[in-house]
Homo-oligomer: A and B are copies of this chain.
Amino acid sequence: MVVTQVEPRIVTEVEGKKAVICFSGGVDSTTLLYDIVSRGYKVYPIIFDYGQRHRREIESASNICLKLGVPRKIIKLDALGELAPSVLTRENLEVPKVGYDIESMKQTVVPNRNMVFLSLAVSYAIGLGADQVFYAAHGGDHALYPDCRSEFVKSMQEAIRLNGIQLEAPYLHWSKYAIIKRGFELGVDYSLTWSCYEGKDLACGECGTCRERLEAFKLAGVEDPIKYKERR
């Protein structure tokens, strides 16, 4: 694997243009948020409270918005957990800890989550008069999530364009560690981010998303500043 080349900062072209971003407070969308803020967009993050087990991420997302001085919008969306089962939205199911392999991670997929998030982000963008909606799908998600793949992004771009809105997924072909490298260039404060699916006081270090995060920091050659219960 090669680290994807990051583009130089482009500020003047977009200065003051409004953009909505689907924002979770995790590594990928936090980097993208810093990225588009640095490019001069007027950014409106939309954060979804869908009954996720790791609701801590909403607090993290809010703190990051405060730090960057961007107006957060938290959307309550119990419907998603209600409509389709996932270990992320059902307290009685257990988060798998057997590693970040496809089969165990499949249980953590919230069906069609990104399409739901993007569609609401587009409603928000129309209401704001924004031209663009950003989301941080990346290469590492392709195997597990149909709604992070190029074909999905392409079809959604076409559907969304009919509303006069451009859907952007600039990290679509990036590895997670390339995103982290980009984040370090941008000065992202990763101590404020949250990834762990367990959502307890400390990141567990054992669930798929903790393992993926730790691995990506290692590959990027930088220290993950958050505290873990245990680092595998």
A98 within 8 A of B: no
Q: DSSP class of A's interface residues: helix, strand, loop or mixed?
A: helix
A144 within 8 A of B: no
A104 within 8 A of B: no
**Cα–Cα distance between A156 and B120 once the two chains are bound (Å):** 15
Contact with B along A138-171 (1 / 0, CB 8 A): 0000000011010110111011101100000000
Whether A119 pairs with B122 at a CB distance below 8 angstroms is no
**A146-B163, A147-B162 given; A85·B127 CB < 8 A:** yes
Number of copies: 2
* Nearest 9 Cβ contacts at the A-B interface: A84-B127, A111-B126, A155-B159, A155-B158, A146-B162, A115-B119, A112-B123, A116-B119, A83-B124
Whether B120 pairs with A79 at a CB distance below 8 angstroms is yes
A9 within 8 A of B: no
Whether A115 pairs with B75 at a CB distance below 8 angstroms is no
Output the least CB separation between A164 and chain B (Å).
8
Known A83-B120, A112-B123, A155-B159; 16 more pairs at CB < 8 Å: A75-B82, A77-B77, A77-B79, A79-B123, A80-B123, A84-B123, A84-B124, A111-B127, A112-B119, A112-B122, A112-B126, A146-B162, A146-B163, A147-B163, A155-B155, A155-B158
